[in-house]
Amino acid sequence: MRGAALMGVLNVTPDSFYDGGRHATPEAAARRIDELLAEGADILDIGGESSRPGAEPVPAAEQIRRIEPAVRYAVDRGALVSVDTTSPEVAEHALRLGAVLVNDVSCLADPELAAVCARFGSGLVIMHSRGPMSKMPGFSQYPETGYRDVVAEVLIELSRARERACERGLARENVFFDPGLGFTKNARQSFALLRGLARFAETGAPLVVGPSRKSFIAAVDSAPPERRLGGTIAACLMAVEHGASVLRVHDVADVAQALAVATAIRHGLPTAEVQHA
List the alpha helices (DSSP H) in the chain. Answer: 26-39, 60-76, 88-97, 112-120, 150-167, 187-195, 197-201, 229-241, 252-267, 271-276
Q: Spell out the residues 6+ positions from residue 179 whose beta carbon is closer than 8 angstroms to its own.
A: 127, 128, 154, 158, 193, 197, 200, 207, 209
The residue annotated as part of the active site, out of 66, 162, 228, 248, is 248
Q: Within the chain, what is the greatest distance between any pair of CA atoms?
A: 56
What residues pair up with 103 in beta bridges, in sequence order?
84, 125
The residue annotated as part of the active site, out of 32, 185, 214, 228, is 214
* Phi-psi sector, 125: left (phi>0), alpha (psi -120 to 50), beta: beta
Reply yes or no on whether 214 is catalytic: yes
Number of other residues whose CB lies within 10 A of the CB of residue 220: 11
Reply yes or no on whether 248 is catalytic: yes
d(CA 101, CA 124): 6
Q: Are 67 and 94 in contact (CB under 8 A)?
A: yes
Angle (CA) 222-224-228 rounded to 5° is 85
Number of other residues whose CB lies within 10 A of the CB of residue 54: 13
Q: Known catalytic residues?
A: 214, 248
